[in-house]
Amino acid sequence: MIDTPIAVEEYQKRRDRVLRALRGGVGLVLAGEGGPQLHGTWRPDAHFAYLTGILHEPGAAVLFDGRNPDPSRRCVLFLKPRDPEMETWDGLREPLGSPLREATGFARVMRTPALATLLMQAARRTKRLVCLHPPASTRAPVPADLQEFRKVQERLAGVAVDDQTDLLNAMRAVKSRAEVAQIRRAIGATRAGFDAALATLAPGVSERDVQNALESTFIAHGAEGPAYNTIVGAGVNSTVLHYNANDRMIVDGDLVCIDAGARVGGYCADVTRTYPASGRFTKRQREVYEVVLRALKAATRAARPGVRFHELDEAARGVIERAGLGDFFLHGIGHHLGIEVHDASPDAPLEPGAVITIEPGVYLREEKIGVRIEDDILITPKGHSVLTRDIAREPDEIEAQMRSARRRR
């Protein structure tokens, strides 16, 4: 039932922490509804995935009710009812019972039609509901827990709704050892993918060939698949930040920006490297490349507990500005990385255990030069560790690796 290699006890501890932080308030975390299996891969809400490790149960929910007199009802998992006809289409599902309780680590598992009644009972008893799902923006849909809480408020007087929408963001921003282990596995598969990309890359192959080399290697190294849409941008496409058509032929003289990561055990890697298609950087390409690499190193040196992203951004931006290229560093310096590629981000300084990306870039459309270099970094008690250091990024190393890949062809 748990779809990651992380132990059931770790998920129980995460839920216990939420229960304690809620201090008797009632919280609800919803997986979200699923579409038909044929149309893309459904993924649960990341807070739900973090609290359960259950990745294949659309419609599921966790109810926190810490002051319930029955201890087995203080944290309840709700799963959709079984539908034997739908199981023919979408796969077999488990009956309620002790094997399911043991597999999920919940003392109580119920079916979703019971949720509305239990939520109302909890609200009558506590008069305090607590939002855990963060709102994305004023234009995004109202978070699913707040939608349910409003229905309670329409039917029951005197119920307060509190905000703890940074609680799970803050928990998720400090990775456990087991989480870091999954991210390291994702980076291992990603490294193999980049080796395969370098061995494939040459004038006359297509961006798609490079994408295929990356993604098939991810899967051969244990990945569930790519963590996000792979970007292989050659020539002018290297300057398009979220390019993913990947349908152009690569020609001599192109710089090729590759932004790709594997997902392993439910966790993402997110790596960018920029390579010369011919195997050698031109003088100008190398000049721009070295500015971006210096910016990456400056921001990485600044990465330690207590620092905020804007300080990393300033360290990188200073280098790029001094090189006269400040107007061409168009995006932020990085983000947290984990269950999601752009993982939960609390409004707080970095703590030991945070895993982040650092990804400066310079995009010169008219020169067809787009350079981004992106590393994944673990914040440690004393500083940081570059988890992606084995994926070559020094220009001499890249050229040497390409030369030796070509000799082997």
Site residues, Mn ion (CB under 5 A)? 259, 270, 272, 357, 374
User: For residues 224 and 270, which CB has a smaller minimum distance to ligand GLY in the complex?
Assistant: 270
Identify what 164 binds: ligand GLY, Mn ion, none; CB under 5 to 8 Å per kind.
none
Closest C-alpha among 93, 43, 52, 55 to residue 76? 52
What pairs with residue 271 in β-bridges? 260
- 């792979």: which residue's tokens? 230
Looking at beta carbons, which residue is closest to ligand GLY? 259
Do residues 245 and 236 touch, judged by C-beta distance below 8 A?
A: no
Q: What angle do CA 55, 51, 221 make, to 5 degrees?
A: 45
Identify what 104 binds: ligand GLY, Mn ion, none; CB under 5 to 8 Å per kind.
none
Task: Determine what percent of the chain falls in helix, strand and coil, rounding each to the nearest 5.
Answer: 40, 20, 40
Identify what 376 binds: ligand GLY, Mn ion, none; CB under 5 to 8 Å per kind.
none
User: For residues 359 and 399, which CB has a smaller minimum distance to ligand GLY in the complex?
Assistant: 359
Amino acid at 39: H
* 341 is an interface residue for ligand GLY by CB under 6 A: yes
Strands across the sheet containing 384-386: 355-358, 375-379, 384-386
Closest C-alpha among 273, 241, 242, 271 to residue 255? 273
Categorise residue 121: left if φ over 0, alpha if ψ from -120 to 50, beta otherwise.
Answer: alpha
* 215 is an interface residue for ligand GLY by CB under 6 A: no
User: For residues 6 and 227, which CB has a smaller minimum distance to ligand GLY in the complex?
Assistant: 227
User: For residues 21 and 356, which CB has a smaller minimum distance to ligand GLY in the complex?
Assistant: 356
Please report how close the Cβ of residue 374 comes to ligand GLY at its closest, in angstroms: 6
The rounded distance, in Å, linking the Cα atoms of 117 and 78 is: 12
Which member of 11, 48, 194, 228 binds ligand GLY (CB under 6 A)? 228
Identify what 369 binds: ligand GLY, Mn ion, none; CB under 5 to 8 Å per kind.
none
**Three-state SS sequence of 303-339:** CCCCCCHHHHHHHHHHHHHHCCCHHHCCCCCCCECCC
Please report how close the Cβ of residue 259 comes to Mn ion at its closest, in angstroms: 4
How many DSSP H helices and E strands does the chain contain? 12, 17
Do residues 325 and 307 touch, judged by C-beta distance below 8 A?
A: no
* 343 is an interface residue for ligand GLY by CB under 6 A: no
Which member of 215, 259, 343, 399 binds ligand GLY (CB under 6 A)? 259
User: For residues 126 and 357, which CB has a smaller minimum distance to ligand GLY in the complex?
Assistant: 357
What the block records as the tokens of 195 is 């080796």
User: For residues 104 and 190, which CB has a smaller minimum distance to ligand GLY in the complex?
Assistant: 190
Which member of 215, 270, 375, 376 binds ligand GLY (CB under 6 A)? 270
Which member of 148, 207, 343, 359 binds ligand GLY (CB under 6 A)? 359
Please report how close the Cβ of residue 93 comes to ligand GLY at its closest, in angstroms: 34
User: For residues 82 and 242, which CB has a smaller minimum distance to Mn ion in the complex?
Assistant: 242
Identify what 239 binds: Mn ion, ligand GLY, none; CB under 5 to 8 Å per kind.
none
Please report how close the Cβ of residue 260 comes to ligand GLY at its closest, in angstroms: 8
Question: Which runs of consecutive H residues, i.e. helices, occur in 60-166?
Answer: 84-90, 98-104, 115-126, 144-155
User: For residues 38 and 136, which CB has a smaller minimum distance to ligand GLY in the complex?
Assistant: 136
Site for ligand GLY in 159-178 (CB under 6 A): none
Identify what 228 binds: Mn ion, ligand GLY, none; CB under 5 to 8 Å per kind.
ligand GLY
- Write the burial class of residue 71 (CB in 10 Å: 0-12 exposed, 13-18 middle, 19+ buried): exposed
Closest C-alpha among 276, 271, 303 to residue 288? 276
Please report how close the Cβ of residue 270 comes to ligand GLY at its closest, in angstroms: 5
Identify what 209 binds: ligand GLY, Mn ion, none; CB under 5 to 8 Å per kind.
none
The rounded distance, in Å, linking the Cα atoms of 313 and 62 is: 37
User: For residues 207 and 259, which CB has a smaller minimum distance to ligand GLY in the complex?
Assistant: 259
- 């979408």: which residue's tokens? 90
User: For residues 228 and 275, which CB has a smaller minimum distance to ligand GLY in the complex?
Assistant: 228
What pairs with residue 358 in β-bridges? 375
Which residues lie near ligand GLY (CB under 6 A)? 228, 259, 270, 341, 359, 374
